[in-house]
A and B are shown apart, each in its own frame.
Chain A
């Protein structure tokens, strides 16, 4: 088992080594205004940052909007975004 000793440091055994990412997925219904507002209101993003991510969702089909240490935290945000009408998904980065 990798104890995480790096350059003399140690990592706790329960230190998460996988990040949980939340993506917002494009759809044909939500407006640019709507997605930007929701990202600003519920993801703690400044309006310009929310707009930038909204453009990425529109152009690329999805965008990572947050990452968490635990799956629970990621799912809580997905619940929040889903109840605002957005399609959000969870994936692990590990």
Chain B
């Protein structure tokens, strides 16, 4: 019998207390290991292939870090200047998270660890979805975005715990947008 998928985070005296079910921890570990495979070894895992998605690891990495300039030549020069650093930072953060967390059911994250978790989850989302979704009306989102939803839920939990003042500040904003179709969720 499997445990239900559960991720919770709460403020703690030393930072953020993160708790996960075994199922969630296994899933999240797998997602982070994919990040290491892509950024560390340049691998395009079969699970990341999708009909309209990137055809190579290089394209996938470019998708993770979108153009910083509208002119392609300027964007290319930006990648030349900063691409390696960005990939290295995210890879290093992912390795730190995996090394320190080791899939534990509970963990206390200090600010540095919170920053690492949010960096990894923030970038890793784009392994599974593109920034602009193109889901025709009436059709459900493709199954691979379940991984992105897992990462998004994890991000939200950690952010709310790390910065509790966000929730009361954003509640009226959420209320304003709930009635309006929006691509941004709570």
Which residues of A does B touch, CB under 8 Å? 25, 27-38, 40-41, 47-48, 51, 54-55, 58, 75, 78-79, 82-91
Categorize the interface residue count of chain B. 35 or more
Which residues of B does A touch, CB under 8 Å? 65-70, 78, 81-82, 85-86, 89-90, 115, 118-119, 121-123, 125-126, 129, 131-133, 148, 152, 155-156, 159-160, 162-163, 165-166, 169-170, 173-174, 177, 182-186
| A29 in contact with B89 given A48-B169, A58-B184 (CB within 8 Å) | no
CA distance A44 to B183 in the complex (A): 26
What is the distance, in angstroms, from A66's C-beta to the closest C-beta of chain B? 14
User: What A residues does B162 contact at CB under 8 A?
Assistant: 37
CA distance A87 to B89 in the complex (A): 17
CA distance A20 to B149 in the complex (A): 34
CA distance A18 to B41 in the complex (A): 40
17 contacts between A and B (CB under 8 A): A28-B183, A29-B133, A30-B184, A31-B186, A33-B166, A47-B166, A51-B170, A54-B173, A58-B184, A75-B81, A78-B68, A78-B82, A84-B123, A85-B125, A87-B131, A90-B68, A91-B70
CA distance A82 to B115 in the complex (A): 13
What is the distance, in angstroms, from A4's C-beta to the closest C-beta of chain B? 28
- B119, A83: Cβ atoms closer than 8 Å: yes
| A31 in contact with B184 given A79-B86, A83-B90 (CB within 8 Å) | yes
- B160, A33: Cβ atoms closer than 8 Å: yes
CA distance A41 to B166 in the complex (A): 11
- A32, B126: Cβ atoms closer than 8 Å: no
| A89 in contact with B69 given A28-B183, A32-B184, A84-B119 (CB within 8 Å) | yes
User: What A residues does B78 contact at CB under 8 A?
Assistant: 75, 78, 90
CA distance A79 to B84 in the complex (A): 11
* Complex: chain A residue closest to B118, CB-CB: A84
What is the distance, in angstroms, from B76's C-beta to the closest C-beta of chain A? 14
- B131, A32: Cβ atoms closer than 8 Å: no
- The 3 residue pairs across chains A and B that have the minimum distance between CB atoms: A85-B122, A27-B131, A28-B183
- B173, A32: Cβ atoms closer than 8 Å: yes
- B85, A79: Cβ atoms closer than 8 Å: yes
Partner pick for A88 among B68, B119, B166, B173, CB 8 A cutoff: B68
Partner pick for B129 among A29, A34, A48, A75, CB 8 A cutoff: A29
CA distance A38 to B122 in the complex (A): 10
User: What B residues does A40 contact at CB under 8 A?
Assistant: 163, 166
